Amino acid sequence: MINFIQKYTESSIIPSLSDFIRIPNLSPQFDNQWQQNKLLERACNHIVKWIENETVGLQIEIKIMQIENAPSCIAVKFLGNQQHNKTILCYGHYDKQPHFVGWKYGPTTPILENNRLYGRGSSDDGCVPYAIIAAIKALKEFKQNYHDCYLIVEGEEESGSHQLIQYIQMLNLIKIDLMIAIDSGIVDYDRLWITNSMRGAITFDIKIIQTENPFQYLRILLNKLENSVTGEVNSKFQTIISKNSLEECKATAHLVPLEFPMICDKMEIDHIQQYINRAWKPSVSYIGGLEDLDQYNDTLTIRISMRLPPNKDAQEASEQLIELLTTQQSKIEIIQAKTGLAVKAFSNELKNILNDASFQYFSNEMRMFHEGASIPFLNSLHQLYPESQFLILGVLAPDSNAHGPNENLNIEYFNKLIGCLAQIFTSQNI
Ligand SMILES: [Zn+2]
């Protein structure tokens, strides 16, 4: 099957994905002319057209859903033919991050080099609809059955997925057995990586008012939030890591390289604890605002981003922040608060399927990865179908440069991932 997938990727996916890279369709947040220039619409139509051409003879329904003032959303239904048909929902997005500078060839110049396809949107997240179609086509080619499978490709993930839930509700799906979101990171290209937790995030402003020395007062407040020597965040924002997740972290830590700025003293020397800190502990970063200093009114505003443990409710954390840091001299304004995600444990059947697939295509067991970053829409999806199992996959290794210059798709990993997807779609007991 891998030979079929390789050939298909080469002959059909790479040419079309390259044309997708040529379209500079930034996410709405980064292009306020998107409704006039219709670049998102062009990208959406490009994908739909490719799907239509490639799926002749397959039992599918394609529609472009449209909510007013939002980018369209692609929905494809593949009618399954399993004896005990289950329902799978797959997710991807077609909007892109801004281009930024520093590209070797340019963000909209697709180049295939060393079996990597370079260009903005190649791996985040343009490759997803191509991967799903390729998996279904491979199963069809080898006369293997598959479950009912929905694919949804939205156009505003990089802007906050504001209409995603409404779009999914428009599909009227009663029950989902398995959700697969392909938009996450991986650690290396040696195995099937599954993301099992993401941290939440709160962005907020601290405004210091009417005090002789706003800097000194700010320092007092920040000390309440985190220990200035160790970086340990106030215990109100700490949570307990489940036994299952702790075991996974211990099993995976040695595979995950952690980089530290050269000037920084490490809070922890133990590598496992460093990894757990990044994935499961809150942390505070100062992301701006000092330029708003108004010397004449003695006011000072600073913007802070705080990562939250995957199982900490962002609303609760916001209230705790306000309570902790509001005084007569200070105000707190919450800009954004998003809860992270702690995926519930998979059934043994699904675990076995994933492991078998990883062995078949990578000759290595799969591993669960606890991601320290945040992807806010994942939690909303999880809430929408809490009964469903939730599989978070990706193609983005550290050298894939998602969101940075020289974003690229590792074609070998991509092909193996397609093989794994096909195996999941065809397995009876997902
Ligand atoms: Zn993405």
Query: 354: CA distance to ligand 1 center in Å?
Result: 22
How far is ligand 1, taken at its centre, from the CA of residue 163, in Å? 16
CA of 120 to the centre of ligand 1 (A): 11
Tell me the CA–centroid distance for residue 343 and ligand 1, in Å: 19
Tokens standing for residue 387: 């009964």
**181 and 209 fall within a common domain:** no
State residue 238 phi and psi, 5-degree precision: -90, 150
- CA nearest to 167, candidates 344, 342, 44, 335: 44
Asked whether residue 370 falls in the same domain as residue 257, the answer is no
Of residues 399 and 117, the one with the higher pLDDT is: 117
* pLDDT grade for 270, boundaries at 50, 70 and 90: confident
> Cα of 73 to ligand 1 centre, how many Å?
15
Residues 124 and 160 placed together within one structural domain of the fold:
yes
Tokens for 353, please give them.
């399927």
Res 83: pLDDT: 83
Residue 293's pLDDT is 55
Predicted confidence at residue 186, as pLDDT, reads 93
Q: Examine the pLDDT at 306 and tell me if it is beyond 90.
A: yes
- CA distances (Å), 167 to each of 13, 125, 152, 163, in order? 26, 18, 9, 6
Average pLDDT on 82-108 reads 93
How far, in Å, from the CA of 31 to the mean position of ligand 1?
17
231 and 261 together in one domain:
yes
**CA of 226 relative to ligand 1 center, distance in Å:** 31
Distance from residue 181's CA to the centre of ligand 1 (Å): 10
pLDDT tens digits along 401-410: 888 999 999 9
Q: Dihedral sign, CA of 153, 159, 163, 169?
A: positive
Distance 124 CA to ligand 1 centre (A): 5
Res. 214: pLDDT tops 70: yes
Cα 164 to ligand 1 centroid, rounded to whole Å? 14
pLDDT-wise least confident of 232-236, 259-263, 268-272: 259-263
Q: Do 401 and 275 share a structural domain? A: no
Report d(CA 78, CA 375) in Å as an integer.
27
Give me ligand 1 centre to Cα 209, in Å. 39
Dihedral through CA 255, CA 259, CA 264, CA 265, nearest 10? 10
Q: Give residue 334 CA to ligand 1 midpoint distance, Å.
A: 24
- CA dist., res. 290 & res. 44, Å (int): 40
Res. 378 pLDDT band, cuts 50 70 90 = confident
Q: Is the pLDDT confidence value at 167 over 60?
A: yes
Output the CA angle 195-199-204, nearest 5 degrees: 155
User: Is pLDDT of 257 > 80?
Assistant: no
Number of domains in the chain: 2
The answer to whether residues 74 and 141 belong to one domain is yes
Q: Please tell me whether residues 182 and 298 are part of one structural domain.
A: no
- For 192-202, what is the mean pLDDT? 93
Query: Domain with 287 in it: what CATH number?
Result: 3.30.70.360
User: 214 and 169: one domain?
Assistant: no
Shared domain check, 353 and 422: yes
pLDDT: which is higher, 170 or 274: 170
CB atoms within 10 A of CB 428: 12
Token digits of residue 281: 């502990």
User: Of 288, 320, 338, which residue is a domain's last?
Assistant: 338
Q: Give the CATH number of the domain where residue 371 resides.
A: 3.40.630.10
Backbone angles phi, psi at 352, to 5 degrees: -65, -40
- Residue 261 clears pLDDT 60, i.e. is over it: no
Instruction: Compute, in angstroms, the gap from residue 131 CA to the centroid of ligand 1.
Output: 15
For ligand 1, the distance from its centroid to the CA atom of residue 146, given in whole angstroms, is 26
Domain extent at residue 214: 200-338
| Cα–Cα distance for residue pair 138/134, rounded to 1 Å | 6
**What's the 269 CA to ligand 1 centre distance in angstroms?**
32
**In angstroms, what is the span from residue 160 Cα to ligand 1's centroid?**
11
Q: Which two tokens stand for residue 203?
A: 């962005």
Predicted TM-score of the model (pTM)? 0.88
**Which of 338, 366, 394 represents a domain boundary (last residue)?**
338
Count the neighbouring beta carbons within 10 Å of the beta carbon of residue 186: 24
CA 304 / ligand 1 centre spacing (Å): 23
pLDDT at residue 365 tops 70: yes
Q: Supply the pLDDT for residue 25.
A: 97
Has residue 67 got a pLDDT over 90? yes
Q: Are residues 182 and 236 in the same domain?
A: no
Q: How far is the CA of 272 from the centre of ligand 1 (A)?
A: 27
Same domain, 375 and 421: yes
Same domain, 207 and 70: no
Banded model confidence at residue 260, pLDDT cuts 50, 70, 90: low
| DSSP per residue, 246-290 | HHHHHHHGGGS-----TTPPPS---HHHHHHHHHHS-EEEEEE-G
Ligand 1 centre from 259 Cα, in Å? 22
- Read off the pLDDT of residues 349-362 as tens digits, 9 standing for 90 and up: 999 999 999 999 99
- Distance between Cα 184 and ligand 1 center (Å): 7
Task: Determine the distance separating the centroid of ligand 1 and the alpha carbon of 46, expressed in angstroms.
Answer: 18
The domain boundary residue, chosen from 338, 366, 388:
338
Distance 222 CA to ligand 1 centre (A): 32
Sheet holding 111-113, edge to edge: 111-113, 116-118, 408-410
CA–centroid distance, 133 to ligand 1, in Å, is 19
How far is ligand 1, taken at its centre, from the CA of residue 303, in Å?
25
Whether the per-residue pLDDT at 36 is higher than 70: the answer is yes
**C-alpha 157 to ligand 1 mean position (Å):** 7
- Cα 125 to ligand 1 centre (Å): 5
Name which of 419, 399, 418, 423 is nearest 409 in CA terms: 399
Distance 114 CA to ligand 1 centre (A): 23
How far away, in angstroms, is 379 Cα from ligand 1 center? 15
Q: Can you give the pLDDT at residue 290?
A: 61
- Per the CB < 8 A criterion, the answer to whether 204 and 304 are in contact is yes
Question: How close is the Cα of 126 to the center of ligand 1, in Å?
Answer: 9
* Distant-in-sequence, close-in-space partners of 170: CB < 8 Å, separation ≥ 6: 65, 75
- Taking the centre of ligand 1 as the mean of its atom positions, its distance from the CA of residue 91, in whole angstroms, is 10
Residue-level pLDDT at 255: 86
Ligand 1 centre from 245 Cα, in Å? Answer: 24
Q: Find out whether 315 and 245 touch, Cβ atoms under 8 Å.
A: no
